[in-house]
Structure 1
């Protein structure tokens, strides 16, 4: 089980995606729960803050916007991902982490096109949750 968050800046109409170092795909921020994570929401927010470098992120109220089951390479063959939306302030400056090859802001439509099918569905769910 994993938890992730699509970082969104509604004021700019953009989402932040990471070019995942191992998978070489544009994805939302996320990962496995760690001992200090009390809830999946805690894990998603922690991962989003760590991977984006934006400490001021807050989760959109209302809980997860999507659940996703996807295959992954390696000994663990699938992830069940609980997906949230993290809100970034308009002035947020992202900082790349060592887990990423790149970190970039995209418009909603471009993010849905550059990511895989799961990212496209998550962008749609985020837009619906935010009413944009």
Structure 2
């Protein structure tokens, strides 16, 4: 199965939590139908990305990165790469690389979707982000990656600024349904 086929599978079977998320799900599927390369950064109109909200073992702290380009606190994630066979694999790879934490307890079903404008193409483009959740092992130690200006744990009830509403919604959704593994 290709990454494109997996993205179609994930978005076809995923149960959106509300009508707005379902409209995004349908938009993402249309994008993939229209663009055979829709999972790759080279797809200028937009491309699927994969990210992960990392929670501590208690589910009360979130690990956020101060993104070096965006200059805001975000969940971990990014572009799909050639070796990624599934969206979940891409999201877990990104979370592991950007956190330095091995053995994340990763849930393979998305929590939410988000579409946001990016500057990775001079013509303008969209990230069509499929967002997951993972839990760090107890006493996990993180390490800042090259893509980050900072990386810190924050109380889920007291997120830092600047961050955006998509991150806040992601935290709320993740906390609202403690994921069983």
- Same fold? TM cut 0.5: yes
| Per-residue deviation, 1:86 | 1.1
SS at match of 1:124: helix
**Higher alpha-carbon Rg:** 2
Compare relative contact order (CA 8 Å, sep 6+) and give the higher one, 1 or 2: 1
Structure-1 residue corresponding to 2:16: none
CA RMSD of aligned residues (A): 1.6
Q: Return 5+ residue gaps in structure 1 as ranges.
A: none
Alignment partners' CA distance in 1, 2:83 and 2:105: 18
CA separation in 2, counterparts of 1:74 and 1:113? 23
Deviation at 1:68, TM superposition (A): 0.6
SS of the residue aligned with 1:118? helix
Do residues 118 (structure 1) and 163 (structure 2) align? no
Cα distance between partner residues in 2 of 1:12 and 1:71: 30
Per the alignment, residue 9 of structure 1 pairs with 56
2:135 & 2:162 partners in 1: Cα distance?
Answer: 21
Contact 1:112/1:123 (8 A) holds in 2: no
Which of 62, 66, 70 is 2:116 aligned to? 70
Number of aligned residue pairs: give it.
Answer: 130
Structure 2: unaligned runs, 5 residues or longer: 1-47
Residues 1:103 and 2:151 are matched in the alignment: yes
* TM-score normalised by the chain length of structure 2: 0.67
Q: Deviations over 1:43-84 (max 9, x none)?
A: 0000000000001112125x0000111112342421100000
- Provide closer, same or farther for how the CA distance between residues 13 and 103 of structure 1 changes in structure 2, counting only shifts above 3 A: same
Return the offset for 1:129: 2.2
